[in-house]
Structure 1
Amino acid sequence: MKTKHIIFSLLLAGFAVSCGRSTSSINLEMAHNESAHHILSPGLGWLGIIQDQEVHMFYFTRSYTWEVDNVHPFAIPEKNDGLLGMGLGSIGVVSNGALHLYIQDQGGKWTQDERYNLELPRGYRRIFTVKQEWELAYVAMEFDGRIQFYYFDEEQGLWLQDETATFILPQGIEDYFSMGNMTIAIVSDNKLGLYYLHTEGNWTFAEDYVLQLPENRLAVIPFEPGIIAVMEPWNNSKRLQFYQLDISSDMWIIEEAMNFYLN
Structure 2
Amino acid sequence: MLDISTIELTRQEKSKDFFLPIESTKDLAYVCGVLAGDGNIHTRFDKHEYSVTCLGNQLDEREFYDKVLLDLFYKLFNSKIKNKLHERDNTYGFTLRSKSLVLFLTKIIGLPSGRKDNIKIPTIFLDSKEMMKSFIQGFADTDLCISLKRRYKNYQYYPVINGVSKSRILRDEIADFLESEGFSVSRFTHNYYDPRVKKKILKYEIAIYGHLQLVKWMQLIGFRHPKHLKKFQLWKERNKNNKRAFSALQELNSK
Instruction: Note whether the superposition's TM-score is higher than 0.5.
Output: no
Higher strand share: 1
Q: Normalised by the size of structure 1, how large is the TM-score?
A: 0.25
Q: Which has the larger radius of gyration?
A: 2
Q: Normalised by the size of structure 2, how large is the TM-score?
A: 0.25
Higher helix share: 2
